Structures are given as C-alpha cells and as structure tokens.
C-alpha cells in the first residue's frame, strides 16, 4: 500500500523538486515584477517615474486621492459594477436552466444547439462592433427609445457573448451530477422546477461561480464595446482610464502615478473576487475533467 502511494506521488511530480522550485520562482517573478512596479509607481512622483526610479524616494499617497476627481473613477466603477453584476447574475440564472434542459432532456436539435454554443465562441468580437452599433441605432429609431449611451446597451451586448460560454460551462458541470438524484426526487413527487431549485442548484455552486466570474470579467475588462456604446455619464472604469490616459498625451509629464494608482484600484475588485471564490473556481474549472 505504501509503495502504491509512493508511486502515485512520483507520477504526480512531473518535475524534480529543485527544478520545480526554479520554474515556480521564474513564473512568480514574471507576474510579480510588473505588479510590484505598478504598486511602487502609484506612490511615486511623476518625475521619479520618468527618471526610471523603481523605488520611490518619498511616498506620494496623494495619487490615490486625486484619481477620484481627475479620472472620474467613482462613476466609472459604479457603472462597471452595475453592468457587470447584472450580466453575471443573468448569465448564472439563464445558463443554469438552459444547461439543465440540455443535459437532462432529449429532444430534436439538442446536438445542434451544443455545437452552436461552441461555434459562437469562435466569432471575433471586433467584427461585431459595427453590426451591433447599427442594430441598436436602427432599433432606437424604430421604437423611439434611446439605446446607445445607456447601460442596457452594454448589458445586452455582453450577454450575447457571455451566455454561450456560461451555458457550456454549466453543461459540462451538470453532466458530472448523477441523474439518480433527479430520479429519486421524481419518485418522491418533486416537479422539474423543484428538482432544479432544491437539488441541482445547491449542488451547482462551483459551476455557477465559474460562469458568473467569467461573465463579470468579460464586461469589466472590455474597452472596445464600452467606448462605442456608452455616454460620458455611463462610462465604465476601463473607458474612464482610457479617456484619462488619452487626454494626457502631448503634455509635459503625464501623471504616471495617478494612472498606476487608478489601475490598481480597478484591479482590486477582480482580485478580491478571485480570493473569495477561489475554492469554488478551482472545483468548477476541473469539473468534468475526470470521469
């Protein structure tokens, strides 16, 4: 028994111990060095950043105070939270019900729908910017309701790209849940709705977290669609940073410290999201990998 465990441990260790430590150290250096530079530059003066100083000679904490007025970061973060939160919650709810039907029921066209979900992932988003803009503009003229420049335009656009991926993630996860649970619930007199809400939903948290986080990040990191479909009062945080950086071009010394500070503030919600849901994220990504 001990030999079997030793062999399993040897198989799991694909690299020798010292070499594995070297690889991990190099990866940490590649990821940590840029983040360390951004963090130090955010509390450094603009002149020192231009001079190439890595370690600040004196701390400039005022950069974190100035960004709320110069970058208009507060409004951008609020719009990002509203849009991305709505997209994530909608994706989780819709993808769970859609995936449950695709996994548990047999009907004509089921395989075509699954292939379509994969095919939609291969369409580059940049090719659809102009068609989406024209569609929203034409719909607004026909209905008489403003669409472009509102948060709803971004929410609908992000759902178009996030829902297929979220549904496929949930399909992969629900395939790992035993169908015997549904059969036992049916014997006890449960309806399909009760099975979905009382049995499948509590067991699907890892998959729901994965689909929700990826849907959230899709909108949080997007600049292309957000810059085209928003107005000054509905700009997301990513667009606010882009506009602030573009307006500083051509000046004497760009406010590098404020740019770095704003970038770190925008990264904090994403990092916190990963830290809070890390356990569910790992189990959700690996679900369906081993049968």
Domains recognised in the chain with CATH numbers: 2-42 (no CATH), 63-286 (1.10.3720.10)
* pLDDT for the residue 28: 87
* pLDDT for the residue 286: 56
- For residue 80, what are its two tokens? 């990002």
Between the alpha carbon of residue 283 and those of residues 88, 250, 277, the distances in Å are 19, 48, 10
pTM: 0.82
Are 47 and 60 in contact, with CB atoms under 8 Å apart? no
Rounded to whole angstroms, the Cα distance separating 67 from 69 reads 5
The radius of gyration computed from the CA coordinates of the chain, to the nearest angstrom, equals 24
* pLDDT for the residue 289: 46
* pLDDT for the residue 192: 84
* pLDDT for the residue 77: 92
Element of type H or E holding 48: helix 46-50
Which of the residues in the chain have pLDDT under 50? 1, 4, 6-8, 11, 288-291
Are 247 and 88 in contact, with CB atoms under 8 Å apart? no
Rounded to whole angstroms, the Cα distance separating 157 from 219 reads 9
Which pLDDT tens digit goes with each residue over 60-81? 888 888 888 887 788 999 999 9
Element of type H or E holding 194: helix 192-195
* pLDDT for the residue 206: 85
* pLDDT for the residue 273: 87
Rounded to whole angstroms, the Cα distance separating 257 from 46 reads 6
DSSP 208-261: HHHHHHHHHHHHHS--HHHHHHB-GGG--HHHHHHHHHHHTTTSSS--HHHHHH
């Amino acid at each position: 028994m001990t030999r079997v465990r030793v062999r399993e441990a040897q198989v799991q260790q694909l690299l020798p111990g010292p070499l594995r430590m070297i690889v991990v150290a190099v990866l940490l250096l590649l990821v940590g060095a840029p983040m360390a530079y951004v963090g130090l530059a955010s509390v450094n003066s603009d002149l020192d950043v231009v001079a190439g100083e890595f370690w600040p000679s004196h701390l400039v904490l005022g950069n974190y105070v100035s960004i709320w007025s110069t970058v208009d970061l507060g409004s951008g973060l609020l719009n990002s939270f509203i849009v991305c939160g709505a997209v994530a919650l909608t994706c989780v709810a819709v993808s769970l019900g859609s995936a449950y039907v695709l996994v548990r029921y047999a009907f004509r066209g089921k395989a075509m729908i699954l292939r379509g979900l994969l095919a939609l992932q291969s369409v580059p988003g940049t090719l659809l910017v102009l068609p989406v803009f024209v569609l929203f503009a034409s719909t607004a003229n026909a209905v008489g309701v403003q669409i472009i420049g509102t948060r709803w335009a971004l929410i609908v656009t992000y759902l178009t790209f996030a829902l297929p991926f979220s549904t496929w993630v949930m399909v992969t996860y629900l395939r790992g849940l035993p169908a015997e649970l549904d059969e036992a619930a049916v014997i006890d007199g449960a309806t399909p709705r009760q099975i979905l809400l009382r049995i499948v939903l509590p067991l699907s948290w890892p998959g729901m977290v994965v689909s929700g986080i990826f849907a959230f990040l899709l909108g949080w990191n997007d600049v292309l669609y957000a810059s085209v479909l928003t107005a000054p009062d509905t700009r997301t945080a990513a667009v606010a940073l882009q506009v602030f950086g573009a307006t500083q071009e051509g000046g004497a010394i760009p406010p590098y410290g404020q740019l770095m500070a704003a970038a770190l503030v925008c990264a904090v919600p994403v990092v916190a999201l990963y830290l809070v849901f890390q356990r569910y994220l790992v189990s959700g990504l690996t679900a369906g990998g081993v049968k």
